[in-house]
Structure 1
């Protein structure tokens, strides 16, 4: 198969290591990966703020860059969810619908498409797993604790394959970190308080690292950790799964 690598703006600009780890991991697993160099924003920030009609150029460019691949994979649950639910085209509606169903977040691609059962990676550290809201409630990457239903976590299943890792328990494992895209700008005080609460849960359980499938959530928590002078670090899931 040939996969188009879809990298969100903030990953490209601030956390290229997560993008590189995604590429290397997919290639290690035998996937032919192509990175369309003209890709830009998927349009999610505009849609989140109520201006989806201004994202038409983003939709057209996404179609131009990624139509024709067997799958499109991104290290971002929120961007993937946006494309699945909002990608559209007045000129090519059928193509837009078809492409939107080929876009996968990294952990669901590894578990649902590649169906991997082992990873040649090592990470001998205590790690807290942050369940991002878009991934959990939109893409169903993990079970919601308020439901009386079997528990599962696709990112968690992958982390269990990593040699030496200790996944710490959390008191509230699927609580929002408060980032919420443009929410953290319009409701800064609430966003920060939620972030502090989310971090405290990890700190109380002695996490050395906090990981997740969305660098946006991790970026939010990283900012708070640095302001607190904490030694706890954040790493995208791909960077741990790609570890040696």
Structure 2
């Protein structure tokens, strides 16, 4: 099955859901990026096969980088929620479909939680485009989530410690980690604006995961922005604050 009609992602001409938005306040906002890693975003990554077409359609790699640069220019925290698997994670007694696929593809594999041996340039490593942005001693890199949501890592703790309650959310993958982070954050009282073209989804016989995620973003997010919109809002808010 192929999906090559980008018009299917356009907003409806006459939406039934209420139109709401997030009034960005830099004093309580952060950018949260899920899984900005080689295995998702690079043609050399383990998951490029099902995700590559969507990543190219939405210019995802470049848009994530633009968001990080804009957030740093605006002076708000940049928070990374990564995905790592260690040898003992592959010995779980059961798994759901998505995690089973990740284990099968050996995505995000690391040799040990206390060692970076073999990490540089591996599928678990950051995309090269983001390394200088993430490794700047300012970016908050959280402990790894293990399936899709932040319930198993310290994302919410780190956001609370920075007195953040507005989150600009992007990263990979749209219907998996991004949507799971969105759902958990809104249930915990955060305002969340999802950046729709700074994510992507798989295209499989089971369906178009990006479209599935976009429909759910419309139900759950406080706002859905494009990268251009998010960058402009960050720059405008920063100019006012100065």
TM over 0.5: no
Higher RCO (Cα < 8 Å, 6 or more apart): 2
> Which TM-score bucket, shorter chain as reference?
0.3 to 0.5
Instruction: Give the TM-score of the pair, scaled to structure 2.
Output: 0.35
